[in-house]
Structure 1
Amino acid sequence: MRPRANTLGLLFHEGCLLVEEQHGIHSKGTGLFYRPIGGTIELGEPSAQALVREYREELNADVEIVRYVSCLENIYQIEGNVFHEITQLYMVSFKENALYKKKTFTVTEGTKTTTARWLPLTDLRKPETILYPVGLLDVINQEIYKGE
């Protein structure tokens, strides 16, 4: 298996990050975990364009790329299988301001449906909160405290 290139959008509002809630097997066990909205970069597709497409496909929402943030490399195991993701991170914003007032969003990816919601940064920092990809919380903390 080869590394997977993906892209995720960091969308903040009033001290919260928009994240997708997922339940299932993950690298730290089984149960609830979170990740920002995004997905796989298709061959020949720039990562920023892929992110805009993913928000449209998954949330039926248009976003604007604010700026590039960082790249994370995540190598992990699930049930003895090794996975490798290279993730491009962008700060994004909704083009439609009314979307910031929604408490939850239905995330549709193929036949799978999950929920996205605004998760307070204080909750993201709790030891029991599982956020992927690994290292993302460090990037978020650097971004938030950059100007201080």
Structure 2
Amino acid sequence: MKKDEGKYPRAKVFGILQSGHRLLVEEFEGEHSKGRGFYYRPIGGSIEYGEKSTEALSREFNEELKETVEIEDFLGFIENIFYINDRIGHEIILIYNVSFVDKENYTREMFTIQESEQVSFAKWIDVMDFVTGKKVLFPDGLVDKLERGIS
């Protein structure tokens, strides 16, 4: 494995936004630590230097979905160390329970996310699809937390 010398873990923040048994996640396709194909992760992203994690999470929802969320409570963190194509990645991820301010968003089936020139989608996925392994959810360890009812 190649070591990324001189790099530090990246600080990230994700929001767990649920509607009943469904979780709002962003869909990606490509290489990931479990192979290749579709994979999902909660809405969120990197915490910028000098920015509080709650500010970063609000910013990410605003940038990605053009929506406002209420941050309800801190659920914990996950230290995510992963390998893709012999390269190591290391993230410290803070996880918060959040809810939409505009309740109409719970009836939307999909959200379009545009970052630079890349377009992706956020959609509601049944949590059991991740628990049973039918769909892949990152970061590793999040499925276990959801399964234990931390949501």
Q: What's the TM-score bracket when you normalise by the shorter of the two chains?
A: over 0.9
Q: Could you list the per-position Cα deviations for residues 65-106 of structure 1 after superposition, in whole angstroms to 9, with x for gaps in the alignment?
A: 010001000001100101000000000000001111100001
The match for 1:57 is 63
Which residue, out of 97, 118, 123, partners 1:91?
97
Residue 115 of structure 1 pairs with residue 148 of structure 2: no
- TM-score normalised by length of structure 2: 0.92
Show structure 2 runs of 5+ residues with no match. 1-6
Which residue, out of 39, 49, 53, partners 1:43?
49
Show structure 1 runs of 5+ residues with no match. none
- TM-score normalised by length of structure 1: 0.94
Report the secondary structure of 1:124's partner residue.
helix
Tell me, in whole angstroms, the C-alpha distance in 1 between the residues paired with 2:121 and 2:9.
27
Q: Which moved more, 1:18-27 or 1:120-129?
A: 120-129
Q: Could you list the per-position Cα deviations for residues 38-66 of structure 1 after superposition, in whole angstroms to 9, with x for gaps in the alignment?
A: 00000010101100000000000100101
Identity, % of aligned positions: 42
The match for 1:3 is 9
The match for 2:4 is none
Tell me, in whole angstroms, the C-alpha distance in 1 between the residues paired with 2:55 and 2:150.
25
Runs of at least 4 residues of structure 1 off by over 6 A?
A: none
How big is the shift at 1:144?
A: 4.8
Question: What RMSD in Å do the two structures reach over aligned CA positions?
Answer: 1.2
